[in-house]
């Protein structure tokens, strides 16, 4: 049991990040490190752009606006993904029908 924990721990890395002048330390799976760092970098850039463009009272307002923007983008992507899935299902159905009727 301890050996399994050691293996899992060895696949994790410690990531130090900073968002709006606050520092955080996380232990994350090694395979996710690059994704997490890039995501935090994009978030930090978004927050800095908001700070430059808008006059908010505090960092909480910056974070709230960024969160809403990200949620909207996520919803749009999920809707597009749903459309792509529907199109793939339709094509798959049409292909099955074609094969059934034309391949002997």
- pLDDT tens digits, one per residue of 16-33: 999 988 999 999 999 999
Q: What angle do CA 32, 78, 91 make, to 5 degrees?
A: 110
pLDDT value for 5 = 59
Is the pTM here over 0.75, yes or no? no
Asked if residue 9 has pLDDT above 60, the reply is no
Together in a domain, 76 and 48: no
pLDDT value for 87 = 93
Together in a domain, 41 and 62: no
Q: What is the mean pLDDT of residues 52-78?
A: 91
Q: How far apart are the first and last CA of the chain?
A: 56
Together in a domain, 74 and 37: no
The range of the structural domain enclosing residue 77 comes to 57-104
7: number of Cβ within 10 Å = 9
In sequence order, the 6+-apart residues with CB closer than 8 A to the CB of 44 are: 18, 19, 20
Q: Output 53 or 39, whichever has higher pLDDT.
A: 39
Together in a domain, 34 and 78: no
Mean pLDDT, the chain, whole residue set? 88
How many structural domains is the chain composed of? 2
Together in a domain, 84 and 38: no
């Amino acid at each position: 049991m301890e050996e399994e924990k050691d293996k899992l721990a060895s696949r994790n890395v410690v990531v130090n990040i900073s968002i709006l002048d606050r520092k955080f330390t996380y232990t994350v799976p090694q395979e996710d490190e690059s994704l997490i760092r890039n995501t935090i970098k994009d978030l930090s850039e978004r927050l800095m752009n908001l700070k430059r463009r808008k006059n908010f009272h505090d960092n909480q307002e910056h974070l709230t606006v960024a969160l809403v923007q990200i949620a909207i983008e996520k919803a749009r992507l999920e809707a597009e993904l749903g459309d792509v899935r529907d199109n793939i299902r339709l094509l798959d159905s049409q292909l099955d029908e074609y094969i059934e009727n034309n391949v002997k």
